[in-house]
Chain A
Amino acid sequence: MNEDSTQLSRRNFFKAGTVLASGVAIASALTPYDGLLFAAEAPGAKGKWYGIGIDITKCIGCGKCANACKQENNVPSDPFYFRSWVEQYTIKNDGSILVESPNGGVDGFKQSVPDAEIYKSFFVPKMCNHCAKSPCTQVCPVGATFETEEGIVLVDENYCIGCRYCVQACPYGCRYIHPEKGTADKCTLCFHRLKHGLQPACFEICPTEARIFGDLNDPGSKINYFLKNHTCMVVKPHLNTGSKLFYNALSPEVR
């Protein structure tokens, strides 16, 4: 009796197993995994698909971009809330790395290291990377953060519950909780200006044209020209966030 029931259940197990395995096999054949395709081709294949380029060799650290952003978008003036900021990297002769960003660079920079001790120094403007596979959008529990068709990551402040999960999930530190609104806040790529055909404030004000933005789907766009003619890199590529903020001359020290 016992033996019988064992055999029966074993037979059932194999039956169920076969059905399950073939089900999975058929399902995979119908929808092949397209991981590589996804990596090679932007999801927004039609229409505009915005990308950003920053040329580190051109940035002079004037901080006007950080300042313009605060003014244009009513970002709180205290030094804890930034949609856009600039970092100054100083690599000393002894190999040590100093990173500074007093008040996000809004007031410009003063080099604190004597010239004789400096191996090299450069500025890195930072802002939202408008990732195509953005971790902040992924984790938002209510869907208040979303990616627009143009590839811009936005927050619906009338919907955000202020749980701060997105702030934790952003590898680049580009989000903060607005102290008055209690909701998540971040760079919108000046969506309100884009809609009127204007450039984002930080791009318009840059005196050296270190910041470029444009439609990645348009072969003739400035951003495509920039990407073709420079060796560009994103910050933290290993995190596979699909960052669309490309830096020219990005040093490996920059994180």
Chain B
Amino acid sequence: MEDHLQNLYEVLSKIEGYVYPNEIELNWSILIVLYPYITGLVAGAFILASLERIFKIKVLKPTYGIALLTAFSFMLVATMPLVSHLGKPLRAYEIMITPHSSSAMAIFGFVYLWYLMVVLFLEIWFDYRRDMVIWGNESKGVKRFLYKLLSLWTTDISPKAVALDDRIGYIVTVIGIPSAFLLHGYVGFIFGSIKANPWWSTVLMPVIFLFSAMVSGIALVMIIYIVLTKIRKQLLDMDCLDTIAKYLFYILIIDFALEGLDQIHRIYVAEESFEALHALVFGKLFYTLFIYQGLLGTIVPLLTLGTLQFYKPKPQIRKVIYIILPILVLMGIFFMRWNVVIGGQLFSKSFYGYTTFKTGLIGMEGYLMAATWLIIPFLILSFLLWLLPPWRKIETSHE
């Protein structure tokens, strides 16, 4: 509390121009930057998985299981930054019990649960059921119990039962694609529907969020696949990586085009807020928007991936590129979220001035807390990969 006030007095001394007194405090901090970032990773990873499953792009097979488990691990954590930033975290359940029908935020709990439970959970369960039965029979002790529990003590692994699993899994994935679109488009709508804020209020926001989500999710799975393969001392499947890179390229083009369209539209119509936003992007957001998000996170990956489409260097060089590019893309999308969430609060709605973002290392809204919510999904993923290693699954082709 004292720290918080001291922080605010420091911000007060750095106010440029005039902001409404209640605007000195930035209401949505780094945790709300993480929220769309993490949900985006979920949606993106899931869509990569469905490319293999639904659109039958078989070359992506090595990443299918990894993508699903990645989506699941991040999904489990997705709400945590939200809940921990609430003024009254213990009342969070109210949003599920008494949702307010006109609020864009109220349905979040339902969209989230639908996606987590119905889509991700079911898809993984049906995908792994046969393997869990087999692994359960092969293991001992706690692990055996875990497998039995997770497979709900089912034992039928006849071809007929497995075919049914596969059929249901397929249907769930078909439902899952629009659900993933819904989940992240919806997150964009939370921002896009705020008419009070001209930096957020654009009809393109849900679509931009969706495509940037796909970009980030694909990049994340790419890195995880490379790291895992290295840890397991296996050979990287270069065809698979080339194909992922190709899709990353296509979706990055769409993402870039949409964001470009948004900016061009803003510049051309030059509404009341134009001067204030112009000064914002060339001032406080210059590095995060033009350098981190634009140049390093978008232009460099676009040019590199574009070049790779018609000129393929040696696999050794491509491997290096496939490690560096996703990191750049992930950083770029993080700063995209940053520019939206933090950027949207730096200028006053009076358009007469700017406040400053300042947060500490510790505390509920501090950097450590944020780092924690980013690290936990990886711990969950490690556990899931130990329990349900996709590479140990018996090869079956999804039909």
Contact = CB atoms under 8 A, between A and B. Distances in A.
B273 to A, nearest CB: 10
B interface bracket (residues with beta carbon within 8 Å of A): 35 or more
Interface string B32-57: 00000000000000000000000000
Contacts of A183: 87-88
Given A138-B102, A175-B22, A161 B27 contact: no
B86 A139 contact: no
A164 to B, nearest CB: 4
Contacts of A141: 95, 99-100, 103, 105-106, 108
Interface in A69-114: 78-82, 85, 87, 97-101, 104
Given A180-B1, A183-B88, A239-B195, A163 B23 contact: no
Interface stretch (A21-29, A166-174, A215-223, A224-232): A166-174
A161 to B, nearest CB: 4
Contacts of A171: 195-196, 349
Contacts of A98: 18
A164 B195 contact: no
B20 to A, nearest CB: 3
A26 to B, nearest CB: 24
A142 B20 CA distance: 26
B167 to A, nearest CB: 23
A159 interface: yes
B371 to A, nearest CB: 22
**Which of B82, B87, B194, B349 has most A Cβ within 10 Å?**
B87
Contacts of A174: 22
B194 A169 contact: yes
B27 A167 contact: yes
A182 interface: yes
B196 to A, nearest CB: 4
A120 interface: no
Nearest to B200: A168
B351 interface: yes
Nearest to A174: B22
B300 interface: no
Contact of A81 (B1, B22, B193): B22
A46 interface: no
A143 interface: yes
A181 B87 contact: yes
A165 B197 CA distance: 12
B11 to A, nearest CB: 9
Contacts of A140: 100, 103
A177 interface: yes
B86 A162 contact: yes
Contacts of A79: 12, 21, 24
Contact of B352 (A104, A169, A255): A255
A82 B21 contact: yes
Interface string A145-187: 0000000000000011111110111111111110111111000
B21 A163 contact: no
A135 interface: yes
A211 interface: no
A135 B195 contact: yes
Contacts of A167: 22, 27
Contact of B351 (A87, A162, A168, A255): A255
B356 interface: no
A78 B194 contact: no
Contacts of B91: 142, 159-162
A164 B105 CA distance: 11
A99 B352 contact: yes
B8 interface: yes
Contacts of A85: 20-21
B98 A143 contact: yes
A252 to B, nearest CB: 11
Given A80-B24, A140-B100, A140-B103, A162 B8 contact: no
B113 to A, nearest CB: 15
A248 to B, nearest CB: 20
Nearest to B1: A179
B88 A138 contact: no
A176 to B, nearest CB: 4
B87 A182 contact: yes
B5 interface: yes
A166 B27 CA distance: 10
Contacts of A101: 18, 21
B22 to A, nearest CB: 4
Interface in A13-66: none
A142 B98 contact: yes
Interface of A: 78-82, 85, 87, 97-101, 104, 126, 135, 137-143, 159-165, 167-177, 179-184, 239, 255
20 contacts: A79-B24, A80-B8, A80-B22, A80-B25, A101-B21, A135-B196, A139-B102, A139-B194, A141-B103, A141-B105, A160-B91, A161-B91, A163-B82, A163-B105, A165-B105, A167-B22, A168-B345, A172-B349, A173-B20, A255-B349
Interface of B: 1, 4-5, 8-9, 12, 17-25, 27-28, 82, 86-88, 91-92, 94-95, 98-100, 102-106, 108, 190, 193-197, 345, 348-353
Closest 6 CB pairs of A and B: A162-B87, A173-B20, A182-B87, A171-B196, A99-B18, A143-B100
